[in-house]
Structure 1
Amino acid sequence: MTIDTTAMNSTRRIEGIFRDISAGAVVALVSAAYSLSYAALIFSGPLSGGIAAGITVSLIGAAVGAIAVAVLGSIPVAISGPDTASMAIFSGVSAAIASNAMIAGDADTAIFQVLATMTVTALLTGGALLVFGALHLGAWIRFIPYPVVGGFLAASGWLLCVGAINMMSGDRIDFMAFDQLIGADYWPRLGAGLVFAAVMFIATVRVKSALMVPGLLVLGSLVVHLVLLATGTGIDEAQAGQWLLLPLEKPDLWLPTAMFEPGAVDYALILAESAGIATVVVVTTMAILLNATGLEVSFATDANLDRELRANGVANIVATVAGGLPSSLGVNRSLLNAQAGATGRTAGVASGIFCLGFLFFGGDLVGYVPRPVLGGTLLFLGVSVLVSWLWKTRKRLAMPDYLLILAILVVIVNEGFLAGVVLGVVAACLIFAISYSRVRVIKNDLTRAEYASHVDRPQSEGHALCDHGSQIRILALQGYLFFGTSNRVFEAVRNAIEHPGKEPILVEILDFRLVSGLDSSAVYSFVKLRQLAERHGMFILLTGLSTRIREALRLEGLLQSDDDRLLEFPDLDHGLEWAENVVLAEDRTLMAEAACPFSEWLGRTLGQERLAESLMRYFERLELAPGARLCEEGAEADTIYFVESGRISILLERPDGPPIRLRSMIGHTIVGEVGFYQRAVRTASVAADEAAVVHSLSRSAFERMEADEPALAAACHAMIARVIADRLAFSNAEILALQR
């Protein structure tokens, strides 16, 4: 039996397109309801004459957002449109604009001014999103403190609730004017809206389905019309009594080109509300990022945050030209789209087209939409936001963070967005400074007894450095240094110097390898450290400095060529080697030890001095010039080398650059023993840094010694085992110290 896979795939594609179109229709219904709600929210009270323009710009914003994000976004079934939080904030901006515009003109002037402000806001939002996306700042914007975001979103929830009440009443209610509240004709509408909001809240809490909201919108509208029918109230009478919206006879298109006419726009009024407009931009950006992250989890996919920013930026730029409200990625509509059967980008495009169809061909239907349903929907959204940020977060957040959310909310409600933005910025800076100052800027606090340079020294020198290791202290720093963290470094150094252990600190090493930068205030801490070193006759070494940090220190007069107290080294290894040499130079007994003959050292290391002469009969003496290679990486490891004098280094070869120094070794030590015992090839090369004398013990000579003088061979094995054990023990101590 032959299966026509081409026909099957074609059928599946057609079915997918039909599912996307049907899902787009469902989403368009909810988007249209939200758009009507936002229009009624913004164009209420003295702006109610602009409701037709409000519906038009809302639906255009929903259509453009849905299509642009569907085509350009990284999540195929994502839906964008005017967002609850940003619309709540913009409603506050529009109310302030209208109030000031009404002083100098009539309602039409105020409506025009609000539409112009909307265009400016959409343009700034789109431009900011495009810049953020182009600069790949999607992840960085998340660093805005959570309580600051929560404060703005909680304020948006409050504004939604207030706007919903004003929209249902038909005017802006002054709850302090009790004489006006008594006997007002809007109480039945408010009561109906409150009941509908309560039903929505309870139903959505108990039934977790994205289809619940559109179902309740349809059901609520039917109930209102049944009540109107039962009371004998006609459509015209209900519209006049503000129970229903007025019909949209034709789209009242807003053309931004009207703003270019001389004197048409009072930009001083827009500038006065710059804080609110900036808040819309910030909240929209944060909403996109938070919602994209939430959709990642819901759809088990990876969202490209920068791409989402760019897609929504394009949507807002197009909305600016087309005369639409700002839009952003929405979670609820995206989840509804998926639950309605959407599988691809066609659903978002279809949703946008249906919104435009409703705008141009469904104007008469607007006259049948109940105000209490729209107001109740806004009230439900506002209460949901307040519950999320004021109730659910009270147990998740620390008390200071929760109080900051309340403070920003109270300030915005009483003093406006400018004061809220100032408080948010100041709070963000303080939270960052306090939180970052608690970060452990000192990654490791070590002494030379715990951590050594990559120089293998004679056993006597190694023991001396362990015994006097507390004279060398190493602080490995990390992160960004500013006034708070740099002062902690200064205090740590000063306390160690002024309250030393068994021996005073001779050298303090500060390693900057993991330091990303420092500000000007942090530099003064190092000026004080230089003065501290001078008073106590000690040395401070700075290692691993970046070019920027080095220049910042030099601008304050540090790291001068004639400074013998504050010194710089390219990395920790070179700085620590210099410090070890300083400590060893203080120990006169080691000078005599270093001058002892090689045979004497070999005899003591073997445990019996008489064995040294016997062992040296199996050696081959090599004299190396500076730079000469003792062995090459990849060669057979068939020889152990005993260093009599000079200095050699173990090098890791690189095909595209000079070799990397892994370790250096100074006279009276052993090299090459591990590969010899493993019968492996050399994993690195060995070269002389200076003129050196080395004795080689080949495998054939070792085997001959084992056959002829087994006691001597056993002593040699034991000596090498002790050297390996000493190195391993110190390496383990280093690992433990680094894990503290």
Structure 2
Amino acid sequence: MTATTARRAGRGIRSLLPGVADYRDIRRTWRGDLVAGVTVGIVALPLALAFGVSSGAGAASGLVTAIVAGVVAAVFGGSNVQVSGPTGAMVVVLAPIIATHGVGALAIVGLLAGAIVLVAGVLRLGRAVTFIPWPVIEGFTLGIAVIIFLQQVPAALGVPATEGANAVVGAIDAVLGASWPEAAWALAVVATVAAIMLIAPRIHPLVPGSIVAIVVVTLVVVLIGIPVATIGALPSGLPVPTLPAVDPATLAALALPAATVAALAAIESLLSARVAASISDTGPYDADRELVGQGLASIASALFGGMPATGAIARTAVNVRSGARTRLSAIVHAVLLAAIVAVGASVVASIPLAALAGVLMVTATRMISVATVRSVVGSTRADAVVFVATAIITVSVDLITAVLVGIAVAAFLALRALARSSGVHREELPGPAEVGDERVALFRLEGALFFGVAERMLERVGAMRDVDVVIIRMSQLQILDATGAQVVTELVHALERRGVTVLVKGIQDRHLDLARRVGVIDSLRHRNHLFDDLGGAVAHARSHVRRASAAM
């Protein structure tokens, strides 16, 4: 390794690590950061509890994730204002994993997923999220919202959730298995929470509706003695970090679930960081460093008994709108949650599970933007198909499958549109007509010549009869892949075998190396049959026809 390469590698590694520059503005922004941190901490408390319960890991796990992952991601991540912790999308993926493998698998999944995300950041794969189309993102967001809402139906009715069941099936089982009128108490709690959360912003935008709703409902339940299930005992501090027991069989069984969690963590965190950068003036985000930070956050969370973490779009938006400008705000949010756990664990234990279900039901409803759905559905038929397919597969199968299928469908539709925009057109020869012009065929290739349309070009041009010369114009060709170049080579060989001279005009410089490597240039009868201008190609074709006519 040369000294230059070593210095370059060193700069690359340093760019993925925290630095003094992360806090250079803190002297003038600390007040706003403190206010934002406290605000987002209050908003995050009920969500952390609710996501922990909904995943099956427990309320304590949700709090640990918000605290530990919140601090680590804030320090090591690539965004100045990102807030990380447990999220609804992660719950959707974790719930079936925990139901199948047990809570004990959570730490192993978190460690494996965190390591995968960390390696992805080190390998500079952060920009890969830009390849996910907008309809796919909105489709799985809609699907996640539906799943989160349906997952709360059992708690909203005061019945245990069906182990390992699909969200739709679980909701139906809960409705059929509800015990009336006991379930009415839980529904009343949910309705009260929802009403307060909807009314609070109308009183004042800064009123934290979820925390107000939790406090009011908990007080009423405790004072009146309403018979509903509560969170139960919580630890009064963070547990001691421990490494889980691991064996090869367990690792093999959890490898695929961990990869799924890692993919989701990377996608959601980068999307959240991108949204944060678009709504704040705190500077751009570093996608690769964000992956490193989120990977470390999930690893740390797993060691403390928490869940894999991601950037949280809603909490990040609250953070920005509350005045956050540096990483201090996200750190304060985590410290506030730790203080609440240390001081008020017994109070938090009295919160009804139905109240948390109400918070998540309202949160899920707010995830669905009617205006956005109309925009996607009304854009193009292809985008509407991708959007609907992604949403349906998210609800019926799983999120990662939905994203993969959505990307595949979007790619297929994009290639089809690209193929339709490409074409092979026969043109009249330029200038005054001359005797013998009918023996010359001029074809213009435009758009893209790739595997999706190359065969069509071969059929169209190869079917020419009663001509002596074929001119292929490639100057209007925007895209050329190896298949397209190979088809041109095959076409030239086929026409030359029939005694038809082929002239190629206008291969662009960016396509010339590929054309040489695949054999387009060598397939021509003579190197002089490659032209830069159309006039020269036409003149050569006409002279060829005249010579052929004279020889007859």
Aligned residue identity for 1:220: A
Give the deviation of 1:583 after TM superposition. 2.0
Structure 1 contact 393–402 (Cα < 8 Å) conserved? no
The alpha-carbon distance between structure 1 residues 167 and 550, as it changes in their structure 2 partners (threshold 3 A), is farther
1:63 maps to which of 42, 62, 71 = 71
Q: Which has the larger radius of gyration?
A: 1
The answer to whether 1:298 aligns with 2:279 is yes
Question: Tell me, what secondary structure is at the counterpart of 1:218?
Answer: helix
Amino acid in structure 1 at the alignment position of 2:118: G
- CA–CA separation in structure 2 for the residues paired with 1:470 and 1:36: 80
Counterpart for residue 381 of structure 1:
363
Partner in structure 2 of residue 267 of structure 1: 251
What are the Cα deviations for residues 598-647 of structure 1, in whole angstroms up to 9, with x where unaligned? xxxxxxxxxxxxxxxxxxxxxxxxxxxxxxxxxxxxxxxxxxxxxxxxxx
CA shift for structure 1 position 39: 0.8
Native 8 Å contact 2:110 2:258 kept in 1: no
Q: Indicate conservation of the 8 Å contact 2:236/2:342, yes or no.
A: no
Tell me if structure 2 keeps the 8 A contact 1:127–1:313: yes
- Paired position in structure 2 for 1:659: none
> Which string of whole-angstrom CA distances, capped at 9 and with x for unpartnered residues, describes residues 112-167 of structure 1?
11232233223323333443xx25x52x5323333333333333222211322344
Relative contact order, higher structure (CA 8 A, sep 6+): 2
Q: How many percent of aligned residue pairs carry the same amino acid?
A: 17
Partner of 2:525: 564
Which of 194, 198, 203 lines up with 1:197 in the alignment? Answer: 194
Are 2:324 and 1:316 equivalent residues in the alignment?
no
Q: Would you tell me which structure has more helix in proportion to its own residues?
A: 2
The amino acid that maps onto 1:380 is V
Letter in 1 for 2:517: E
Residues 65 and 312, structure 1, Cα contact 8 Å, conserved in 2: no
State the Cα deviation string for residues 158-214 of structure 1 (Å, max 9, x = none): 22113223445362155247763233744422442244236535766x7894x35xx
Letter in 1 for 2:178: L
Distance 1:23 1:411, change over 3 A: closer
Task: Give the C-alpha shift of residue 469 in structure 1.
Answer: 11
**How far did residue 23 of structure 1 move?**
1.8
The question of whether the paired residues in 1 share the 8 Å contact of 2:66 and 2:84 is answered with no
Residue 469 to residue 248, structure 1, CA distance change in 2 (3 Å): farther
Contact 1:448 1:470 in 2 (8 A): no
Partner of residue 577, structure 1? 536
Which of 516, 525, 542 aligns to 1:550? It is 516
Count of aligned pairs:
509
Residue aligning to 1:484: 452
After TM superposition, list the pairs within 5 Å mapping 1:18-29 onto structure 2. Answer: 18-29=31-42
Match of 2:104, SS? helix
Task: Give the whole-Å Cα distance in 2 for the aligned partners of 1:87 and 1:568.
Answer: 64
Pick aligned residue for 1:475 from 422, 433, 444: 444
Report how far residue 311 of structure 1 moved: 2.1
1:281 CA displacement: 3.6
Cα distance in 1 between the residues matched to 2:290 and 2:185? 43
Mapping of residues 433-452 of structure 1, within 5 Å: 433-440=415-422, 449=430
Q: How does 1:162-561 map to 2 (within 5 A)?
A: 162-168=150-156, 169=158, 171-173=160-162, 174=170, 175-176=172-173, 180-183=177-180, 185-197=182-194, 200=197, 209=205, 211-212=206-207, 215-228=208-221, 230-231=223-224, 233=225, 241-253=228-240, 255=242, 257-260=243-246, 262=247, 266-271=250-255, 274=256, 277-299=258-280, 303-304=284-285, 307-323=286-302, 324-387=306-369, 391-393=373-375, 395-416=377-398, 420=402, 423-424=405-406, 426-440=408-422, 449=430, 471=440, 473=442, 475=444, 477-479=446-448, 481-490=449-458, 493=461, 497=464, 506-511=469-474, 515-520=478-483, 523-524=486-487, 526-528=489-491, 530-532=493-495, 534-535=497-498, 537-541=500-504, 543-544=507-508, 545-552=511-518, 554=519, 559-560=521-522
Consecutive unaligned residues of structure 1, counting only runs of 5 or more, are 1-11, 102-109, 451-462, 592-740
> How far off its partner does 1:224 sit?
0.9
Give the distance between the partners of 2:61 and 2:522, measured in 1 at CA: 70
For 1:267, give the aligned amino acid.
L
Amino acid at match of 2:540: N
Per the alignment, residue 93 of structure 1 pairs with 97
Between stretches 115-124 and 190-199, larger displacement belongs to 190-199
Decide whether the 8 Å contact of 1:448 with 1:465 is kept in 2: no
1:470 & 1:141 partners in 2: Cα distance? Answer: 52
Structure-2 change in CA distance of 1:278 and 1:437 (3 Å): farther
